[in-house]
Amino acid sequence: MIDEDESEVKPEFEFEYKGPLGFTLFWFIWSFFGFLYMVILSDSPSVSLEWFYLFLTVLSVMALNNRKYGVNHSIRFYRDYVVVPRLLNTWFWLEEKITYKDIDEVDYLDYGDGTTKNLCEITLKTKLITYPIFGKKLSDNEFKNIMSLLRKKTKMRVPDLPSFIDDSGHQKEIRSIEKEVTGSLALLSLFVSGLTILGISLSTPYSDIINGQKIFFSSFLLSFSFVAMIYFFTNKKLKTAGVKKLGWKRIFLIAYIWFYGGISTTFGLIFLNGKFSPDTAFSVPVVLDKTLLRESRKGKCVSLVKSSFLNGNRAPASVDENAINVCHKVFESSSSGDKFILKYKNGLFNEGWISDMVKQNIQK
């Protein structure tokens, strides 16, 4: 931690050292609306997920506040030491003070093709820590000046930096296309996330599907077909611009679109299956087999098996063969062996969904 009297000393050189604001804003918006959805809109949320989103929201607010008012967002060179942001405890008023005499080695690492500083770092090595200074948080001149100052202050032999290529001419066009493609995929990811939330909200009344494997696999197959087209056109556009690799960011976004596209399509089909199902309801006698550990706002979650105490109604194949798990308020005061009538409808896609549960009071 920097002493109070030292913090008042004017540095010889100072460089602003901040990461992109967009990521922190996205982090805040995503976690905040995720928490609101779990608390207000969701009919069957998980308490652990509520705390998870709340924790992420608090962290994002701390990160935004620290970015605006914190002290650990600059690299400052003094006569005998350099002050850099602390890698841990970044939300507190703490910085790293490294004296020049304690620096054992100044190294340069490149993770790219040697043409852009965004994929490289300057590494300060001492006996206690190895500290990276990332090029993506600095301009080209600032990055080079920091390396020059370290050479001068430590009086050590340090690696020479390569000549970074400025984004001009054809290179500028390539960077522009890369940003355009990445931005389009990011916007599509946000859109798919919104569809997922909408689909979950609309499908809640019809979500107790008796056997929904066909809907699930069809949804993810449809999402995969859509993503395959996105991959083809994205890869074609990048190759036309001279970009050979798709890059991990774009691969992650495409995988994100596939996964959440499959989820949103699943809940969308569940909504259509229940909303436009025939009005005819069927009744099946069932028995409460056991209580499940998971919780739901729909009510107590239990496992049901088919019963023979009523006859004359055919049950869905999944009830005939296996136990089914259902969450409903009617089970709150029930225990194993209690009998119920399961009412279900054949959905639009011939996938049965539970429309109601009625407890039976059998006279002995």
The one-letter amino acid code at 326 reads: V
Between CA 225 and CA 82 the distance in angstroms is 53
User: What are the pLDDT digits (tens) for 38-87?
Assistant: 777 665 556 777 888 888 888 888 888 877 777 778 899 999 999 998 87
> Are the beta carbons of 354 and 327 closer than 8 angstroms?
no
Residue 143 lies in a domain: yes
Kindly state whether residues 303 and 271 are assigned to the same domain: no
**240/197 same-domain check:** yes
- Measuring CA to CA, which residue among 235, 218, 256, 199 is closest to residue 42? 199
164 assigned to some structural domain: no
Is 161 domain-assigned?
no
Same domain as 150, residue 8? yes
| Contact in structure between 154 and 173 (CB atoms under 8 Å) | no
Residues 303 and 178 in one domain: no
Q: Considering the entire predicted model, what is its pTM? A: 0.59
The answer to whether residue 130 is domain-embedded is: yes
pLDDT at 316: 54
Q: Answer for the pair 134, 41: CB distance below 8 angstroms, yes or no.
A: no
Domain identity same for 206 and 70: no
- Residue at a domain's end among 119, 154, 189: 154
Residues 142 and 134: their CA atoms lie apart, in Å, by: 11
Domain span at residue 334 reads 282-359
- Choose the final residue of a domain: 220, 241, 275: 275
Q: How many domains does the chain fold into? A: 3
Segments of the chain scoring below 70 in pLDDT: 1-8, 41-46, 88-93, 112-115, 165-172, 295, 307-322, 361-364
Domain membership of residue 138 (yes or no) is: yes
Whether residue 50 lies inside any domain: the answer is yes
CATH number at residue 126: 2.30.29.30
Would you list the DSSP string of 78-128?
Answer: -SSEEEEE-SSSTTSS-EEEEEGGG--EEEEEE-SSSS-GGGEEEEEE-SS
Query: Is 162 a member of any domain?
Result: no
The token pair that represents 188 in the structure block? 């599509």
> Does 309 fall in a domain?
yes
Of the three residues 248, 275, 302, the one that is the final residue of a domain is 275
Q: Mark whether 85 and 38 lie in a shared domain.
A: yes
* Claim to verify: residue 17 and residue 57 sit in the same structural domain: yes
Q: Are 270 and 287 in a shared domain?
A: no
Q: CA 88 to CA 115: how far, in whole Å?
A: 30
| pLDDT tens figures, 169-222 | 566 677 778 888 888 898 898 889 888 888 888 888 888 888 778 899 999 999
Confidence (pLDDT) at 312:
41
What CA–CA distances, in Å, run from 275 to 90, 206, 251, 283, 324? 50, 7, 36, 19, 22
Separation of CA 161 from chain center: 36
Angstrom distances, CA of residue 210 to CA of 175, 308, 340: 50, 19, 16
What CA–CA distance (Å, rounded) separates 41 from 262?
Answer: 21
